[in-house]
Amino acid sequence: MYLFTNAIKNLGRNKGRNILIAAVTLAIIISTVITLTINNAAAGIVNDIRLDLGSRVSIRQDFIEMRQAGLDARVDMQYLPLTDFVAFSESQYLRHTTFQADVLAWSETIIAVDDPAFGTNTRMLDNGDIMFTETLRLVTISDPDLLPDFGTLRHIVDGRMFEGINESIIGQEQAVLNGISVGDTIELIGAFATDRAFSLTVVGIYSDDTEAYLNPWMLMFGAFPAQSRRNEIITSFDTLIASGWETNLGLDIDFHYFLADPDYLSAFEAEVRSMGLPVTYTVDINRAAFDRVSGPLAGMSNAAVTFMIVVLILGAITLALISYMAVRERKYEVGVLRAMGMERSKIAFGMIAESLTIAAICLVIGLGAGSAMAQPIADGILEGRVAEADEAAGDNPMAGRALFAGGQAQIGDGTEGYSPISEIQLNLGADVIIQIILVTLGLAALTGIIGVVIMTKYEPLKILRERN
């Protein structure tokens, strides 16, 4: 107890150098609290995004990749039976699968919004068949709960959501334009497969506050009714299967295969390739969307880690130099204590106790100050990162491009509907506190051990003789 009490008193006797040591230690602890809090929070969010977008694999033909490989999407496209896509969903590497396939269609009785020609235009296909110009989009999905914008920008205002085969819902604007009510039957024909007709019962009508066109620039070249969200008629994926539709020709597919673990991507691709998937199809996550959403957070987290490493290295070097200089000033004090018969171990204990006391005080102050400063600093950094991401997205030449082939569309660069995470909530969790305590103990050990090593290697008579 005497040794500890004496160590506390020594802190007061050597205020100047101890204040300097405490200031450096406090600065290191505060910066470490800020960076660890930011890094842990950002890393947690990025990991959640990875488990979502990083596990959501799409299998589709990438027109842009085909063009870069010297292929013509309109000539070299290959079509697969829908049963193959279903068979892929039985992979051991998946936890579940969702199917969405949009059918470009036309109707003899339904007027499409923004269709001045009333669906009478036709064009010749490569095989000589006549194809009616698509004016409607039949959206088929395996799970109605996965429909985008429902509950926010879209709401059922009359009737209910579809449940069984051949049940459908339509937009309010389209219903008013055509005088369609709940319970009516509508007839559609596939634009790329004119022998596939759909007779659908309208069970619900929904309001729609979404943007009509995902790419408004398309309106510069005239209206494209089939690309307008006002012309979406929504039904179940089972309805498409029941119609006898065989391949993905004429379908804009959006099948998502959710991996049990994001690391299974390569194994899953190898498996579906072995099942006959052509090389014109890509098996990948939406990397553009992943980078768009998580990029600012990942960048902020990496910057925080780099900053923390630099601070720790420079801080440790500074503390080592200050401790070395401070200990040399106390050689005579140690010489007197050793001459009085005090053991080296007790002197070492006293020095370590001084270091731990300073570190403990700095720890308490640093945790409070660091946690208070972390949130505004993180908000400022993230705001800048998001602004940079938005600017880069605006400069992306692929953002506004649209390619169409075989009833399939590739619009933009895959980031439509995705935006960077622009908010982060920081909490001083137990993991951060434990990490800070370990850092603090490391700093205390550094300053204490330097003193012990230097002071205990001298003999007391030599120290006193040098003093004289």
Judged against a pLDDT cut of 50, whether residue 255 lies above it is answered with: yes
At residue 207 the predicted structure's pLDDT band, cuts being 50, 70 and 90, is very high
Among residues 28, 15, 10, the alpha carbon closest in space to that of 444 is found at 28
Asked which of 92-101, 226-235, 404-413 is least confident by mean pLDDT, the reply is 404-413
Please give the average per-residue pLDDT across 292-301, as a whole number.
80
Residues 372-406: b if buried by 16+ CB within 10 A, e if exposed: eebbebbeebbeebbeebeeebeeeeebeeebbbb
At residue 423 the predicted structure's pLDDT band, cuts being 50, 70 and 90, is confident
Residue with the larger pLDDT of the pair 80 and 78: 80
Judged against a pLDDT cut of 80, whether residue 183 lies above it is answered with: yes
Please give the average per-residue pLDDT across 216-232, as a whole number.
70
Structure tokens at 405: 């082939």
Please give the average per-residue pLDDT across 261-276, as a whole number.
92
Question: Using CA atoms, how far apart are residues 438 and 436, in angstroms rounded to an integer?
Answer: 5
At residue 358 the predicted structure's pLDDT band, cuts being 50, 70 and 90, is confident
Please give the average per-residue pLDDT across 312-323, as a whole number.
81
Structure tokens at 28: 């290191």
At residue 40 the predicted structure's pLDDT band, cuts being 50, 70 and 90, is confident
Maximum mean pLDDT: which of 123-137, 193-207, 343-357: 193-207
Please give the average per-residue pLDDT across 179-183, as a whole number.
95
Give me the pLDDT at residue 125, please: 47
Residue with the larger pLDDT of the pair 18 and 242: 242
Question: Using CA atoms, how far apart are residues 453 and 327, in angstroms rounded to an integer?
Answer: 10
Judged against a pLDDT cut of 70, whether residue 239 lies above it is answered with: yes
Tally Cβ neighbours within 10 Å of residue 220. Answer: 6
Structure tokens at 223: 């209206």
Residue 14 near residue 326, CB atoms below 8 Å: yes
**Amino acid code (one letter) for 225:** P
Judged against a pLDDT cut of 90, whether residue 139 lies above it is answered with: yes
Residue with the larger pLDDT of the pair 15 and 138: 138
Question: Using CA atoms, how far apart are residues 395 and 416, in angstroms rounded to an integer?
Answer: 14
Judged against a pLDDT cut of 70, whether residue 340 lies above it is answered with: no
Structure tokens at 7: 């160590």
Average pLDDT, the chain: 78
Question: Using CA atoms, how far apart are residues 245 and 99, in angstroms rounded to an integer?
Answer: 14
Please give the average per-residue pLDDT across 343-369, as a whole number.
77
Judged against a pLDDT cut of 60, whether residue 394 lies above it is answered with: no
Question: Using CA atoms, how far apart are residues 41 and 424, in angstroms rounded to an integer?
Answer: 7
Residue 122 pairs in a beta bridge with 132
Question: Using CA atoms, how far apart are residues 353 and 360, in angstroms rounded to an integer?
Answer: 10
Residue with the larger pLDDT of the pair 82 and 71: 82
Residue 198 near residue 243, CB atoms below 8 Å: yes
Question: Using CA atoms, how far apart are residues 104 and 135, in angstroms rounded to an integer?
Answer: 7
Percent of the chain residues topping a pLDDT of 70 = 71
Question: Using CA atoms, how far apart are residues 23 and 41, in angstroms rounded to an integer?
Answer: 27
Q: Alpha helix (H) ranges present in 53-171?
A: 63-68, 73-76, 82-88
Structure tokens at 86: 């279903």
Give me the pLDDT at residue 105, please: 86
Structure tokens at 359: 């570190």
Please give the average per-residue pLDDT across 175-192, as a whole number.
90
Question: Using CA atoms, how far apart are residues 213 and 220, in angstroms rounded to an integer?
Answer: 12
Asked which of 38-47, 74-83, 193-202, 345-354 is least confident by mean pLDDT, the reply is 345-354
Judged against a pLDDT cut of 70, whether residue 312 lies above it is answered with: yes
Give me the pLDDT at residue 264, please: 92
Among residues 83, 49, 410, 58, the alpha carbon closest in space to that of 269 is found at 58
Question: Using CA atoms, how far apart are residues 162 and 315, in angstroms rounded to an integer?
Answer: 64
Give me the pLDDT at residue 141, please: 95
Q: What 3-state class would DSSP assign to 109?
A: coil
Residue 211 near residue 229, CB atoms below 8 Å: yes
CA distances from 68 to 63, 73, 153, 291, 373 (A): 9, 11, 37, 21, 48
